[in-house]
Chains A and B, each alone.
Chain A
Amino acid sequence: MLEFFGTVSIDWMGKAKFFFSLSILLLAVGGISLFLHGGPLYGIDFRGGTLLYVRFVKEPSISVIRSSLAQGGFPQANIQRIGNLARPDIHEVVIGLDERELNEQHLDAGRIAIEDALHRSFPVPDPAKPDLNAATPAAIADTLLRRDPLGFGSSAADRYKAIAAVITNFRDSQRGGLLASVDELRDPLTASADVQQGRGGAAAVVGALRDAYTEGSFAIRNVEIVGPKVGAELRQQALLATLYALGGMLVYIAFRFEWIYGAAAVLAVFHDVLITLGLFSIFRFEISLTVIAALLTLVGYSMNDTIVIFDRVRENLRIMRREKLSEIVNKAINQTLSRTILTSGLTFLTVLVLFLLGGSSLRAFSFAMVVGIVVGTYSSFGIAAPMVVAWYRWRDQKGTVGAVASSRGR
């Protein structure tokens, strides 16, 4: 058999002081960052505000956008380029307005102002015609139906609906929602069976589109507007959900083992969440609803890991009747080591793939998972186990008779 780990015997509990210092260091670094930045960096879900993600055909001038927005009454807009190293041909910008600029009565006033400003700074070539990059499949089907460039006559409606779907699919899946020119549609249209059956082929359709539409130079990919009250509500609920989950875990583990095991496990998980939040602050990732989902999953995952070790400790307590608790725990960790490294490693690999390939929407989420898996695995033998050992050692030192026997628990 291929084995990474044969029989191991590392003295984990002996290194407890080192683990403890390491944890203090990580917590301190994260804590300093949080303090310097005045708390965690909340995403729009928790803060409120307006966000528009806009993609441009050509690299836009940020100052032009900013002055146009100032003209529209929003001089404090936050405009950032979104870079994608792998795709330098994509020019995307995120425009944000603070929650303080939100008008409760007209929640979308900011969005409308931003859209107006963009239309002013990046006008379409022909204002009399609609924008091909903003057209819905239904609108395109309608336009083509009226012009009937392929001469379908009576059966036209369904065919043009299908052709419109080909056009919008190509635009949205292959071109990120933005066609630089109508000619880009020539190839996908030629491949369409409906186009092939008409007279004139792709050229006729392209000609009709060129006639009917103008090409805008930007497309709005995503809009998020969250009212201020919603944000505050969500923050509170997120906190409550996390606390309840931790409480539930505590009860479950105290029920399966002894209460000190439960407390140790919960403390370890708490430590994991804090370190993750600290790293979020250092690397400036935003905390959104999906990040909370990742944190809650971490809670479960870190518990897993801790339970596996505790399970083995309990099994060993039954068999090994003479050894000290710290040696029993060491043995348990060594016995489960290969399993722990393997599963954590595999899960770590999968979320690493997610972090690298999963796209920008999931990046903060997968960062939380990546960090959480590493820290969660570490905290099982670095925090939870030493805590249990230290607790029993402390109780023994207080002179309780038969301490070793009683520390063996159920």
Chain B
Amino acid sequence: MQMNVRIRAILIALVILLCIYGLFGLPAFPTSLAKARSNFSDRIRLGLDLKGGTHLILQVQTEEAVKQYTDQTLDRLRKELNDSGIRFEDIREPDDQHINVVNLALDQAGRFQEIIRNNYQDWEMAPTPGQASGYTISLRAAAIAAIKTDTMQQSVDTIRRRIDELGLTEPVVSEYTRGQDEILVQLPGEGDPTRAKSIIQAGGQLELRLEVGSRTYTSPAEAYSSQPNGILPPNTELLPGREESTAGQGGKSSDVYYLVERYAPVTGRDLRSAKAVPSSDYPGFYEVSFTLSNAAAKRFGEFTEANIQRQMAIVLDHRVYTAPVIQSRIEDQGRITGRFDLPQANDLALVLRSGSLPASVKYLEERTIGPSLGADSIREGIQASIVSLAVVMLFMLVYYRLAGLNAVVALLLNLVILLAALAYFQAVLTLPGIAGVILTIGMGVDSNVLIFERIREELRNGKPNPSAVEVGFNRAFLTIIDTHVTTVVSAAFLFAFGTGPVRGFAVTLVIGLIANIFTAVYVSRTIFAWHLGRMSREAPLSI
């Protein structure tokens, strides 16, 4: 069979050129050696274990979002039933997903059912077991799932916005599919995650609410006892104040409670921007100044105009920060004062800008790899790779002579293709990934050994050179495929199961083995064909 060596050689040369371009030629064609080197280090993406940085796994408590939805539905339902004139004794929330309406007037059951069917389609209605005229509505499973998915999506987006403001290169914020409601955050180069962690975890829920009355209370008990009938007025709630830092005051901090309305005309969603500014009330400290969107500004203006001389509580994550008196109509500006230092004020502004987290977040895993460890790992990994490459190359040259040179060329090309593939796919190289490269060296040369041993056998049996080579390649091919398939299948399972570093290993191993099929079979064959074409028929093959 005549093989067109020239065409094959051109194809191989093209592949080599593509690889070199992928490694050194992007993003901009290099004009100097230094530029080429910096291109190379840009193209190969390093994992956290080689670059240094922080890796966090956190879990979003999505049940809180479900509970919040149930709470809101309860308020809404109570109002709607009252407005429609439907009489009932009580409406309660026994747990996160159910609402009980107790003792509904029997003659109005039909209207009640209609209201639920039309306006509360996420809920299923049934009579409450054990009650003569009670009804329980339960949140449908599909609705629960939808709430959880939305919460996850919103959490990921909010956290991503916050992390983006930290100014790190290539941070990663994504849903972590291995766990339940988990988010993966990777901060390359971040040696101390404390600030990032508090920014991520901050609720960031801002509300402006009117204060009821003008006094504060030192305990909830005091608040209740000072009210007529010992219960709070309708649509109000009691919120704690922010703990003043003892360092600033030099004395013990005391609890303070505010009685505020439930209704919040302005929330964090209405913010257009927020930033830290020097405090006018407390020189030397800072405060956060925010502006509202146009629609909210109009609403807020009307609201403040109607409530002059009353106190407006600025509530952050259900804590009252300050409660200044409304002196005049305020349209679009507000301040959150408190004795903040600049980093605190900056971080608070950052959190407000990014929006609030729909549910709280709990940390499950935290790893911080220092840059020195990363540098050591890279150095040791590269050292090991070079030594193992040298050992293998030396052996092949000694044992197989010129054919060994063939194998060495194939092996080097294999590594070049592997690195270029990593660069093109922007796959992450991790420390186990470097081990995968070393494994590729060892397993890759296996293919060459298979082929050469078969060729030797055929030569021993007296076959002439060309047909010995041909038989060697053909017979060995199937076995090569077999052995590569099993390892690739293992690596596929590893990829499905593993996280970052382990995935890096699976990826380099798979790419290396696939490239190996090309180099050990196609390229080696081409080199043999070229060599056979140049030597005489009777000369012994150097193998």
Chain A residues engaging chain B, CB cutoff 8 angstroms = 1-3, 53, 55, 104-105, 107-108, 111, 134, 136, 168-169, 171-173, 175-178, 219-227, 229-230, 233, 237-238, 240-241, 244-245, 248-249, 252, 256, 289-290, 292-293, 296-297, 299-301, 303-304, 307-308, 311, 338-339, 342-343, 346-351, 353-354, 357-359, 361-362, 365-366, 369
Report if B144 contacts A (CB, 8 A).
Answer: no
- 8 further contact pairs, Cβ within 8 A, besides A177-B371, A296-B494: A134-B192, A289-B502, A347-B442, A349-B442, A353-B391, A357-B384, A358-B380, A362-B380
Instruction: Please determine whether A350 and B391 come into contact, CB atoms closer than 8 angstroms.
Output: yes
A52 to chain B, nearest CB (A): 9
Number of interface residues of B (CB under 8 A): 75
Report if B271 contacts A (CB, 8 A).
Answer: no
Q: Fill in one digit per residue for B475-510: 1 if any A CB lies within 8 Å of its CB, else 0.
A: 000110011011111110110111101100110010
A43 to chain B, nearest CB (A): 13
Instruction: Please determine whether A172 and B506 come into contact, CB atoms closer than 8 angstroms.
Output: no
Report if B8 contacts A (CB, 8 A).
Answer: no
Q: Which A-B residue pairs are the 8 nearest by beta carbons?
A: A177-B372, A300-B490, A347-B442, A359-B380, A350-B442, A241-B497, A300-B487, A350-B388
Instruction: Please determine whether B489 and A349 come into contact, CB atoms closer than 8 angstroms.
Output: no
Closest to A355 in B: B384
Give which listed residue, B362, B379, B506, contacts A105 with CB less than 8 A: B362
B9 to chain A, nearest CB (A): 27
Instruction: Please determine whether B456 and A1 come into contact, CB atoms closer than 8 angstroms.
Output: yes
Closest to A315 in B: B475
23 contacts between A and B (CB under 8 A): A1-B456, A2-B399, A108-B197, A172-B374, A220-B370, A223-B369, A229-B364, A230-B57, A230-B364, A244-B493, A252-B486, A289-B498, A292-B502, A297-B491, A300-B491, A304-B482, A307-B482, A343-B445, A353-B438, A354-B388, A354-B438, A357-B387, A362-B380
Instruction: Please determine whether A225 and B365 come into contact, CB atoms closer than 8 angstroms.
Output: yes
Instruction: Please determine whether B370 and A241 come into contact, CB atoms closer than 8 angstroms.
Output: no
A130 to chain B, nearest CB (A): 12
Residues of B within 8 A of A221 (CB): 370, 372-373
Instruction: Please determine whether B439 and A289 come into contact, CB atoms closer than 8 angstroms.
Output: no
Report if B92 contacts A (CB, 8 A).
Answer: no
B138 to chain A, nearest CB (A): 28
Instruction: Please determine whether B502 and A346 come into contact, CB atoms closer than 8 angstroms.
Output: no
CA gap between A171 and B375 in the complex, in Å = 10
* Most central of A107, A346, A347 by chain B CB within 10 Å: A346
Give which listed residue, B49, B363, B384, B509, contacts A108 with CB less than 8 A: B363
Residues of B within 8 A of A108 (CB): 197, 363, 366
Given A292-B502, A349-B442, A350-B438, is A176 in contact with B372 using a C-beta cutoff of 8 Å? yes
Closest to B445 in A: A346
Instruction: Please determine whether B439 and A351 come into contact, CB atoms closer than 8 angstroms.
Output: yes
CA gap between A308 and B486 in the complex, in Å = 12
Report if B178 contacts A (CB, 8 A).
Answer: yes
Give which listed residue, B197, B381, B391, contacts A349 with CB less than 8 A: B391
Closest to A175 in B: B372
Residues of B within 8 A of A220 (CB): 368, 370
Instruction: Please determine whether B438 and A351 come into contact, CB atoms closer than 8 angstroms.
Output: yes
CA gap between A2 and B453 in the complex, in Å = 12
Give which listed residue, A55, A245, A290, contacts B501 with CB less than 8 A: A290
Instruction: Please determine whether A342 and B491 come into contact, CB atoms closer than 8 angstroms.
Output: no
Closest to B493 in A: A245
Instruction: Please determine whether B483 and A304 come into contact, CB atoms closer than 8 angstroms.
Output: yes
Residues of A within 8 A of B365 (CB): 107, 225-227, 230
- Give how many A-B residue pairs fall within 8 Å (CB-CB): 224
Instruction: Please determine whether A359 and B505 come into contact, CB atoms closer than 8 angstroms.
Output: no
Residues of B within 8 A of A362 (CB): 380-381, 431-432, 435
CA gap between A342 and B192 in the complex, in Å = 48
Given A293-B502, A353-B438, is A233 in contact with B490 using a C-beta cutoff of 8 Å? no
Instruction: Please determine whether A365 and B493 come into contact, CB atoms closer than 8 angstroms.
Output: no
B64 to chain A, nearest CB (A): 15
Residues of A within 8 A of B485 (CB): 252
CA gap between A353 and B485 in the complex, in Å = 26
Given A173-B372, A362-B431, is A297 in contact with B490 using a C-beta cutoff of 8 Å? yes
Instruction: Please determine whether B446 and A347 come into contact, CB atoms closer than 8 angstroms.
Output: yes
* Most central of A105, A308, A357 by chain B CB within 10 Å: A357
Closest to B487 in A: A300
Q: Fill in one digit per residue for B350-384: 1 if any A CB lies within 8 Å of its CB, else 0.
A: 00000000000011111111111111110111011
Closest to A369 in B: B439
CA gap between A244 and B487 in the complex, in Å = 14
Instruction: Please determine whether B453 and A339 come into contact, CB atoms closer than 8 angstroms.
Output: yes
Instruction: Please determine whether B372 and A107 come into contact, CB atoms closer than 8 angstroms.
Output: no
Report if B266 contacts A (CB, 8 A).
Answer: no
Residues of A within 8 A of B521 (CB): none
CA gap between A226 and B179 in the complex, in Å = 14
B388 to chain A, nearest CB (A): 4
Report if B392 contacts A (CB, 8 A).
Answer: yes
Report if B398 contacts A (CB, 8 A).
Answer: yes
Report if B449 contacts A (CB, 8 A).
Answer: yes
Instruction: Please determine whether B376 and A293 come into contact, CB atoms closer than 8 angstroms.
Output: no
Instruction: Please determine whether A308 and B479 come into contact, CB atoms closer than 8 angstroms.
Output: yes
CA gap between A145 and B195 in the complex, in Å = 24
Instruction: Please determine whether A248 and B493 come into contact, CB atoms closer than 8 angstroms.
Output: yes
Instruction: Please determine whether A293 and B543 come into contact, CB atoms closer than 8 angstroms.
Output: no
Residues of A within 8 A of B372 (CB): 55, 171-173, 175-178, 219, 221
Report if B274 contacts A (CB, 8 A).
Answer: no
Instruction: Please determine whether A296 and B482 come into contact, CB atoms closer than 8 angstroms.
Output: no
Instruction: Please determine whether B543 and A176 come into contact, CB atoms closer than 8 angstroms.
Output: no
CA gap between A292 and B498 in the complex, in Å = 9
CA gap between A78 and B343 in the complex, in Å = 35
B445 to chain A, nearest CB (A): 5
Give which listed residue, A104, A241, A339, A353, contacts B493 with CB less than 8 A: A241
Report if B424 contacts A (CB, 8 A).
Answer: no
CA gap between A353 and B398 in the complex, in Å = 19
CA gap between A229 and B179 in the complex, in Å = 10
Report if B191 contacts A (CB, 8 A).
Answer: yes
Closest to A111 in B: B366
Closest to A105 in B: B362
CA gap between A55 and B373 in the complex, in Å = 10
Closest to B364 in A: A227
Residues of A within 8 A of B443 (CB): 301, 343, 347
